Amino acid sequence: MANSDGDDATHLWSELSADCPELEIKIAGPDSESGTYEYFSETIFGDMDNGETFHPTRYLEDSDDNVLVEYLQSNEDAIAYFGFAYYSENTDTLHATAIENDEGEMVAPDATSVGNGRYVETVT
């Protein structure tokens, strides 16, 4: 999604929706040694192979998922991503979001969509 102000250095919630506050989107996730990080880098995030990054200086990375959850709990303007196994064991604390595929369908991560690859194939 392109930034509404055309400035790639600015990443505010208000750029996603005028109903959101003008607060910086804080992102947390696994460190670069993680397979989850590799998957999200290849399929979800921008064109990283061509130098596009997502909050390179405002990204909290940690190999401990519990640290990421603590970060979310102490920063209401933050988002994070996790591997499906950790997410599925912690649905009382974590909430997943659907991802839009090429056909405009929103596919949520669940045991079926992850198991049959449909969730993995949603982002191109």
Alpha carbon distance, N-terminus to C-terminus of the chain: 13
Q: Tell me: the pLDDT tens digits for 42-86?
A: 776 666 666 655 555 668 889 999 999 999 999 988 889 888 889
pLDDT for 51 equals: 61
User: Phi/psi of residue 109, each to 5°?
Assistant: -75, 120
Mean pLDDT of 32-38: 84
List where CATH 3.40.190.10 sits in the chain.
13-93
Residue 124: the pLDDT is 43
Q: Which CATH number fits domain 13-93: 3.40.50.150, 3.10.20.600, 2.40.50.90, 3.40.190.10?
A: 3.40.190.10
**pLDDT of the residue at 45:** 66
Parallel, antiparallel, or unpaired for β 78-80 and 59-61? unpaired
pTM: 0.72
